[in-house]
Amino acid sequence: MTALPIRGPVRIIGIDPGLRRTGWGVIEADGNRLIYVACGSVEPPNDLPLASRLLAIHEGLASVLSDHQPMEAAVEQTFVNKDGVATLKLGQARGVAMLAPAMFGISVAEYAPNQVKKTVVGAGHAEKAQIAMMLKILLPKADPPSADAADALAIAITHAHHRQSTALRLKVASL
């Protein structure tokens, strides 16, 4: 009888894209156990032109990726709001948030905001305070400095819970 290979923890980065503040959170998933690694945000100066802000987001995320060496990444999908210009700009920040891990050879999964809330809190329309409370339970050592960093940790947790089905979906799509 052959023993099954022992699988180690998987390091995951969650990214909450934004032009003013892009949150990031790194966790390790070891089976059902979640371990907090680090979190923070990339905050380009508001007075920079759009292209320079996008570059600052990319450089900041590249630094985080280099420092923490995640194996997988997850990014929140953009929700469309009434302000089309703001939605397009957010989409550009999201593109940078997806590009940075891809440039490191890291696969990137995407999750809708309601799916993140439902996974972490149990309700798809949860408030930020409810997410923060659940983060204290799921990752007791985490102390996110901003709501964006907390959201990024929630995105990473969502990926930890859904990564098997996401990988299967990607595999089927490539056939």
Give which of 101, 92, 24 is closest to 62, Cα–Cα: 101
3-state secondary structure of 148: helix
Do 11 and 69 contact (CB within 8 A), yes or no?
A: yes
The pair of three-digit structure tokens given for residue 115, joined into one six-digit string: 């799916």
6 pLDDT above the threshold of 70: no
Tell the CATH superfamily of the 10-174 domain: Ribonuclease H-like superfamily/Ribonuclease H (3.30.420.10)
Q: What is the largest CA-CA distance in the chain?
A: 64
How confident is the model at residue 168, as a pLDDT? 53
Residue that has been written with the tokens 């990607």 in this structure: 170
Do 24 and 41 contact (CB within 8 A), yes or no?
A: yes
Ranges of each domain in the chain? 10-174
Q: Output the CA torsion 74→21→28→114 (10° steps).
A: -50
30 is in an annotated binding site: no
Q: Considering 16, 28, 72, 151, which one is annotated as catalytic?
A: 16
What percent of the chain shows pLDDT beyond 90?
Answer: 69
Mean pLDDT over 24-42 rounds to 95
Q: Considering 28, 72, 148, 151, which one is annotated as catalytic?
A: 148
pTM of the model: 0.87
Q: Could you tell me which residue, 167 or 83, shows the higher pLDDT?
A: 83
143 assigned to active site: no
Angle at 22 between CA 19 and CA 25, to 5 degrees: 170
67 is in an annotated binding site: no
Residue that has been written with the tokens 């100066």 in this structure: 45
148 is in an annotated binding site: yes
Read off the amino acid at residue 167.
Answer: A
59 assigned to active site: no
47 assigned to active site: no
